[in-house]
Amino acid sequence: MAALVDWFWDERFWLPHNVTWADLADPAPGVEYPKAGHLLRALPLALGIFVVRIFFERFHVGPTYRGQRADPNSLICLLKSPDSRKLDGLSKQLDWDVRKIQRWFRHRRNQDKPSTRTKFCESIDIYSEGSPWMWDTRQCWYNYPYQVLTPGLYHYYVTELAFYWSLMFSQFTDIKRKDFLIMFVHHLATVSLISFSYANNMVRVGSLVLCVHDTSDFLLEAAKLANYAKYQRLCDFLFVVFGAAFFGTRLIIYPFWILNSTMFESWEIVGPYASWWVFNPLLLVLQVLHIIWSYLIARIAFKALMRGKVRNPTLVC
């Protein structure tokens, strides 16, 4: 058994030339490198996500859909908006017009809410702060593999791995779709890439791959929800936005920036080594799937133009 483990973790395969596992085993104080054992923490989290989803669908969404309504709470209503009697009292006390008081309450409620621009900028800043490889892909390879694992990258990786494991579980319990095999290959390739890139500390470029995939997926889910709820115009709009985001990220950013970095910049800065020949083919498998899905999206969009509406966005990934 020990011989099998040693063969699997052969440093001549996993690491660049002149680098050993011993070099990464004892980093300086406050410095941490990825360890393959960290990935095991994703399995209970994946099971938890899967169980929560089943519980939510069966015991929350179902009863809610049957028409249950929340009980009225007069205290909440009072705190959010004074009734007419309170308004009349305040009007007399302040010598203000009732409409002026209503406007004041509305402005007071809104002034503490961050604007959309503020929330967007904060989200971008929080995510990209301290991550120069987000803007310069060559930073993914400088000083590789001696790149520090930040808490943000660790949690991002473990959460994403757990999520894709849960998707693989749920594929066998959900209604079987036409693209079952394509989706299974996609999830398998994604889980393999996440695990592979974490084990040999390619987490910087791996995080870029995950970001590209996360950019448009939620838009498709939103379009599906709108379609199920019979909001056709909203469904059409969301599908157009999703299509633009999908084509931009999967057919432009992914091949011309990320694949360019993993295939050419890494070769120039680090040089080729054994696992390089596994990592890049896996990334190319994803690109093939991107092309297939792009064809499906374009076909649905063309039929929608002919028909006047998007009929079934669930046929896409």
Average pLDDT over the chain reads 80
Position with higher pLDDT, 230 vs 262: 262
Position with higher pLDDT, 202 vs 300: 202
Contact 262, 204 (CB under 8 A): no
29 lies in a domain? no
181 lies in a domain? yes
Q: Per mean pLDDT, which range of 42-46, 221-225, 256-260 is the poorest? A: 221-225
Residues 43-66 as b or e (16 or more Cβ within 10 Å = b): eebbeebbeebeeeeeeeeeeeee
* Per-residue pLDDT at 47 exceeds 70: yes
119 lies in a domain? no
60 lies in a domain? no
Mean pLDDT over 61-83 rounds to 46
* Per-residue pLDDT at 120 exceeds 50: no
Confidence of residue 73 (pLDDT cuts 50, 70, 90): very low
Q: How many domains is the chain built from?
A: 1
Range of the domain at 171: 139-317
47 lies in a domain? no
pLDDT number for residue 284: 93
pLDDT number for residue 250: 94
* Per-residue pLDDT at 75 exceeds 50: no
Mean pLDDT over 32-36 rounds to 89
**Percent of all residues in the chain with a pLDDT value above 90, rounded to a whole number:** 32
Contact 294, 287 (CB under 8 A): no
Residue among 205, 213, 307, 294 nearest 251 (CA): 294
Question: The whole model's pTM is what?
Answer: 0.70
Position with higher pLDDT, 6 vs 175: 6
